[in-house]
């Protein structure tokens, strides 16, 4: 059984103060408030957030830039600790928000895939067959054996999308659904995504796209300034969120 239980969690980021004037910094239209301390700046990305997810839950996160979605995903993936509150995560998490990160321009598609296998916890005995599958899915052919710096932007994204094959885990956490630019990759990627979601016990997905969220999740949380403003059926929360956006 998988479970995420967050009780009144708050997360702040602290930055060393550098040549900032005293007093509060100018407030923009996005992001959490920046509190200016004597030596540090504090950004409270999550404030008193409570959330309970169990097997079968498919939760979407929506909110404007800097509202705290990625921070909440990182908290649920165990990649960040809360300064206040309690976080319990039961089940194997597949942090998905960094599929393309860590890839090295100087390494070949094959070498990058091998590195990713190690990072994603693919068992040693399965690595060779996973690499073959990624190669096949990517359709990169000979380019799979060349350094990534020789790839076009589309080739790079083919490799990244094919790495979806490596994702495992009971708790699937995704920051933005992978959008496919090349229609020839469409079926492959949506097939992989569907498989992943079906296999996962819990899905958490942050997205700015209403369509993506309506397709993949059944519950939605709207975050603003690090607080959950509403949580419930996707259509209801979107109605509220869109209304708020219009009147902003
Ligand atoms: N590593 C960090 N160091 C300092 N502040 C950070 C860091 N990561 C995020 N923040 C701040 O925390 C707040 C929430 O950011 P977060 O990335 O969680 O928002 P988001 O809702 O995912 O935004 P977006 O839709 O733009 O991706 C923002 O004010 C952001 O500036």
Residues 118 and 172 in one domain: yes
Residues 148 and 74 in one domain: no
Residues 214 and 91 in one domain: yes
Does residue 45 line the site of ligand 1, with CB under 6 A? Answer: yes
ipTM of the complex: 0.98
| Interval 73-85: pLDDT, tens | 999 988 899 999 9
* Ligand 1 atom at shortest distance from the alpha carbon of 34: 29
Does residue 41 line the site of ligand 1, with CB under 6 A? Answer: no
Whole-structure pTM value: 0.85
Highest mean pLDDT among 159-168, 171-180, 216-225: 216-225
Domain count, the chain: 2
Sheet of strand 93-95, all strands in order from the earlier edge strand to the far edge = 93-95, 171-175, 202-206, 58-62, 219-224, 227-233
Residues 138 and 69 in one domain: no
* Ligand 1 atom at shortest distance from the alpha carbon of 226: 14
Residues 137 and 184 in one domain: yes
CATH number of residue 15's parent domain: 3.40.50.300
pLDDT of 120 reads: 79
Does residue 70 line the site of ligand 1, with CB under 6 A? Answer: yes
- Residue-range definition of the domain harbouring residue 32: 3-95+206-247
C-alpha span between 20 and 204 (Å, rounded)? 37
Inter-residue contact 167 to 94 (CB < 8 Å) = yes
The CB-based long-range contact list for 231-234 (8 Å cut-off, 24+ gap) reads 231/51, 234/60
Mean pLDDT of 186-205: 84
pLDDT of 76 reads: 94
| Interval 53-63: pLDDT, tens | 999 999 999 99
pLDDT of 23 reads: 56
Question: DSSP readout, 13-62?
Answer: EEEE--SPPSSPPPP-SSSPPEEE-SSEEEEEEEEEEEEEEETT-EEEEE
Higher pLDDT, 137 or 224: 224
Averaged pLDDT of the chain: 89
């Amino acid at each position: 059984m998988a479970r995420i239980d967050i009780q009144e969690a708050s997360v702040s980021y602290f930055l060393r103060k550098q040549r900032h004037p005293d007093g509060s910094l100018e407030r923009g239209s996005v992001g959490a408030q920046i509190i200016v301390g004597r030596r540090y700046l504090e950004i409270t990305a999550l404030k008193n957030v409570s959330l309970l997810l169990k097997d079968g839950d498919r939760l979407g996160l929506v909110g404007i830039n800097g509202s705290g979605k990625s921070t909440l995903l990182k908290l649920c993936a165990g990649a960040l600790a809360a300064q206040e509150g309690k976080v319990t995560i039961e089940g194997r998490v597949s942090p998905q928000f960094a599929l393309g990160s860590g890839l090295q321009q100087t390494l070949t598609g094959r070498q990058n895939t091998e590195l990713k296998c190690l990072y994603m916890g693919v068992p040693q005995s399965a690595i060779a067959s996973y690499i073959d599958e990624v190669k096949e899915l990517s359709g990169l052919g000979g380019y799979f054996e060349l350094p990534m710096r020789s790839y076009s932007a589309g080739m790079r994204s083919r490799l990244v999308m094919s790495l979806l094959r490596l994702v495992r885990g009971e708790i699937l956490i995704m920051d933005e659904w992978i959008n496919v630019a090349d229609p020839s990759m469409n079926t492959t990627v949506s097939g992989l995504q569907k498989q992943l979601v079906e296999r996962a016990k819990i899905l958490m997905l942050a997205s700015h796209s209403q369509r993506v969220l309506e397709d993949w999740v059944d519950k939605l949380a709207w975050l603003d300034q690090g607080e959950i403003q509403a949580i419930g059926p996707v259509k209801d929360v979107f109605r509220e969120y869109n209304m708020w956006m219009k009147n902003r």
